[in-house]
Amino acid sequence: MIEDLKRQAAAMALTQVRSGMRLGLGTGSTARHFVDLLGAQVAAGFDCICVPTSEATARQAASLNIPLSDLDTLDRLDLTVDGADEIDPQLNLIKGGGGALLREKIVASASDAMIVIADSSKLVETLGRFALPVEVNRFGLGATRRAVAAVCAAHQCAGELRLRLAPSGESYVTDGGHLILDAFFGRISRPEALSTDLLDVAGVVQHGLFLKMCKTAYVATPDGVRTLSSDN
């Protein structure tokens, strides 16, 4: 059932894609549905060129013969379609549960618009129920972790700061070769200030707060797909 809902949201996003567009392809379980649907369109002759936000998405897109490029070749993208771990009423997001937050944010920032596709379980009144990923450099991890912990404490983080592990038990490593600290806030009352304070930590590469980046979200519910706009 949940996968059907995700596919419905992905299908709605596909209606906003026009032939000839330069697209950012997101990462995660809902974004995979969009890539599958786009691949079927490409097989039928649809014209587009895409920048993937992860190695996993790149492999999926290549298997479907979706034309791929990068942001060294393309200066701007028309649209990025991606999922989210949380969506608040202003369409601020937490992303990065799948570990692709850095590339996702780079691609979204290089796009004229960002559409988020999700199921209704991702809707929250206030960000923070889902752990906030903080991507950090391997070098100086101990010092960076202490500095991030201090920032989290100053912002009333209710839970722990945990180094993300892979299923093997080893540290999870991102496509960019970095590590991830997951901060379990419970509630993030000042996301803009938290964003600034985290980025001021020297070892922080990026974080999973996507603020004022999403313009439209297609959210699949048991009663159909809701269209949410940041202008509302």
Query: Which among 185, 171, 179 is positioned nearest to 203, based on CA atoms?
Result: 179
- What is the largest distance, in Å, between two alpha-carbon atoms of the chain? 53
What interhelical angle do 29-43 and 2-14 show, nearest 10? 50
pLDDT above 60 (res 30): yes
Question: Between these two residues, 232 and 229, which has the higher pLDDT value?
Answer: 229
Give the pLDDT confidence score for residue 231 in this predicted structure.
Answer: 65
Average pLDDT over residues 80-101: 97
- If pLDDT is split at 50, 70 and 90, which confidence band does 232 have? very low
Q: Are 147 and 38 in contact (CB under 8 A)?
A: no
Indicate whether this model's pTM tops 0.85. Answer: yes
Query: Which among 178, 150, 180, 183 is positioned nearest to 164, based on CA atoms?
Result: 180
Torsion 172-178-179-183 (CA) sign? negative
| Residue 126 exposed, middle or buried by CB count within 10 Å (0-12, 13-18, 19+) | middle
Give the pLDDT confidence score for residue 33 in this predicted structure.
Answer: 97
Q: Provide the annotated active-site residues.
A: 104
pLDDT above 80 (res 175): yes
Per-residue pLDDT reduced to its tens digit, 57-71 = 999 999 999 999 999
Average pLDDT along the chain: 96
